[in-house]
Structure 1
Amino acid sequence: MDVLVAGAGPVGLMAAYELLRRGVSVRIVDAASGPATTSRAAAVHARTMEVLDQVGLYEAFAARAVHGKGIAFHADGQLLASMDARFTTHATRFDQVWFLDQVITEQLLRDAVTGLGGRIEWGVRLTGFDETDDRLDVTLEHADGHCEQVAVPWLIGADGGHSEVRRRLGITLQGDSSETWLIADADLDFVDPVSHDRIRWVRTDGATTMIFPLVGDRRWRLLDTADVNHD
């Protein structure tokens, strides 16, 4: 094994895929018991589409995503305006945003990894490592409680916001949480039909909610901010 990848989310899976494409042997572990079933990120922008195109995954993603075409504004049950929009002014042929649940993104990347002979080991948590001149001695804890010692030349820490790899290296997570968001993925019905291809700002009773389409004819994500005291 040349590289150990800790974390089977989008970052770890893409890193593993690119290594496998180049003939590098990879082991992928993730502390979770299995793939995520609830969505997180849901938008794919031009630069990501360019990367997917470069690595041979564009068509697979394009076939699953909702292709965003514009923005619409609603108030008190009335459509105020709807416009088609390019989502980038840069020199790229990918001028839309895609809406794609992270659950599906990860599934497509897992398919790509397994298609190259890769395998994901669920329920295996990286709990520590020691560095020497030419390797890392990594401790992996399995779901049944037993620990495994592994010596690897390279380690990729893609183990999320609470990364054990980053913590042990003393690297802080940049940024802050200044807002609390309320998020719901729901099947919606409308009194008047609306196209399932654009971001919609909906204002009613003095409050505004943003909704955008997800995969599935009636599936939408609803977003709003909540008033929370962070002190």
Structure 2
Amino acid sequence: MLPEETDVLVVGAGPTGLTAALTLALRGVRVTVVERLARPPVTSRAAVVHAYTLEELDRVGAGAPLVARGILSPGFTVRDRDRVLLTVPFHDLPSVHPYALMVSQAVTEEVLTDRLDSAGVRVLRPYELTGLDLDDAGAVATFTDGATVRARYVVAADGMRSTVRERAGIPFVGPAGGGESFVLADVRVTSSLPHDQVSLFLDRAGPLVWAPLPEGVVRLVAAVDEAPADPDVAHLQALLDERGPTRRPHRIQEVLWGSRFRLHHRVAATFRAGPVLLAGDAGHVHSPAGGQGMNLGIVDAVDLGTTLADVLAGGPEVLLDGYAARRRPMAEDVVAFADRLTRLATVPSAARPARNLLLRLLSSLPPARRRIALRLSGLAHRPAVTPEPGAVPASPPR
């Protein structure tokens, strides 16, 4: 049941909303989390948690249980069919997590929900926000059943089509048009590719991401002209035949689930409008190339939760402007990076030899590989600060 009032109302119980709520709850803030879906989804897009994201999850005690349930990937490769153009190793990252963690977003949400339950906060479902009135004391949120909640602050973690962002009047800036079409699926497949390494296949028709998950599952994500609502073995096999290896081709044995989605490259005009603060896809969306979307949202959430807790503990309101000023440039940078990766994949045939030569050159230069690893891992955005007392890093399972 909804409370009449709360200090912080978090709208959306995906990874971003759950992380924001957990960060606040651990600081003793009175937080309420609402979600329009009646139950958590068992399928999801994101499949990788990067090093910097894991460091941030360590701060809220979610790193270790998540690491225990995933695959530790030592690196990332960029390929053109059978040719490895670029290898990016993670083993020497300046982090307690020198790897990328391969794990389904559904598992990430489960771990965060368990931690939130332990902190005494339950996700309230299903509650769909339909109205938001802002005033000097905060905001009043209205839901489909007519219930209202007064909150000092509202966190918009309700995704790309954020109702909170729209009700707050914040523009979502980006190119016009229908957006990129993607197909995604979890499959079982016979393959010679490493079972612990993400590969990005470049093809004129669009990029194909190959991401291994626990229990022998592989996540496939591919940009296509028009994705089917329910991709089957034949459709996914055709994508692998078109873009994957040719010498030892993959063979899909089973499709566990499949879906489609469209993505734009957009960033909110501001991440704050009075008592409303944006995080995750409510503030930024982009291509899945590089696996940055969920990761950026989780880092947003820890920053926002920490900042809000500081303000509610007596800190100056201007700290919230600092959050918005930090996160929006980060979002623009990540959106631009994902866009460059996508354009790199789809260069015309005449330019492919030059592109491939450039990537091979980068692969041969350790400083260049390191810079790319820092970008992919998120560590390029990590502030140079001393870890907070009491933060316990997650150790890789033995």
Instruction: Tell me the TM-score range normalised by the shorter chain.
Output: 0.7 to 0.9
Report what 1:219 is aligned to. Answer: 217
Report what 1:19 is aligned to. Answer: 24
Matched, 1:136 2:139: yes
Matched, 1:151 2:150: yes
Mapping for residues 118-137 of structure 1, pairs under 5 Å: 118-137=121-140
CA 1:64–1:224: 2 relative to 1, 3 Å: same
Q: 2:115 aligns with which of 96, 101, 112?
A: 112
Higher alpha-carbon deviation: 16-25 or 79-88: 79-88
Unaligned runs of 5+ residues in structure 1 are: none
- Alignment check: 8 A CA contact 1:74 1:200 kept: no
CA 1:126–1:88: 2 relative to 1, 3 Å: farther
- Alignment check: 8 A CA contact 1:157 1:165 kept: yes
- Deviation of residue 85 (structure 1)? 4.3
- The whole-number CA distance in structure 2 between the counterparts of 1:174 and 1:65 is 35
Q: 1:38 aligns with which of 32, 35, 43?
A: 43
- Alignment check: 8 A CA contact 1:66 1:98 kept: yes
CA 1:130–1:98: 2 relative to 1, 3 Å: same
Report what 1:186 is aligned to. Answer: 187
Report what 2:209 is aligned to. Answer: 210
- Deviation of residue 39 (structure 1)? 1.3
2:64 aligned partner, one-letter code: E
Unaligned runs of 5+ residues in structure 2 are: 1-5, 227-261, 263-398
Matched, 1:168 2:167: yes
- The whole-number CA distance in structure 1 between the counterparts of 2:136 and 2:209 is 52
- The whole-number CA distance in structure 2 between the counterparts of 1:169 and 1:136 is 10
CA 1:91–1:134: 2 relative to 1, 3 Å: same
- Alignment check: 8 A CA contact 1:70 1:82 kept: no
1:105 aligned partner, one-letter code: T
Count of aligned positions: 218
CA 1:11–1:200: 2 relative to 1, 3 Å: closer
- Deviation of residue 207 (structure 1)? 9.2
- The whole-number CA distance in structure 2 between the counterparts of 1:129 and 1:203 is 44
- Deviation of residue 80 (structure 1)? 5.8
- Deviation of residue 55 (structure 1)? 2.3
- Deviation of residue 84 (structure 1)? 7.3
- The whole-number CA distance in structure 2 between the counterparts of 1:102 and 1:15 is 16
2:53 aligned partner, one-letter code: T
- The whole-number CA distance in structure 2 between the counterparts of 1:166 and 1:208 is 31
- The whole-number CA distance in structure 2 between the counterparts of 1:4 and 1:44 is 26
Matched, 1:54 2:55: no
Task: Give the SS at the match of 2:210.
Answer: strand
- The whole-number CA distance in structure 2 between the counterparts of 1:210 and 1:151 is 43
Higher alpha-carbon deviation: 207-216 or 91-100: 207-216
CA 1:210–1:30: 2 relative to 1, 3 Å: closer
Q: TM-score, normalised by structure 1?
A: 0.81
- Deviation of residue 96 (structure 1)? 1.4
- Alignment check: 8 A CA contact 2:11 2:17 kept: yes
- The whole-number CA distance in structure 1 between the counterparts of 2:172 and 2:104 is 24
Report what 2:290 is aligned to. Answer: none
Task: Give the SS at the match of 1:64.
Answer: coil
CA 1:30–1:93: 2 relative to 1, 3 Å: same
Query: What per-residue deviation string (whole Å, max 9, x for no partner) do you get for residues 49-97 of structure 1?
Result: 110122222111110111112356585xxx7669974248763332211
- Deviation of residue 215 (structure 1)? 2.2
- The whole-number CA distance in structure 2 between the counterparts of 1:179 and 1:196 is 28
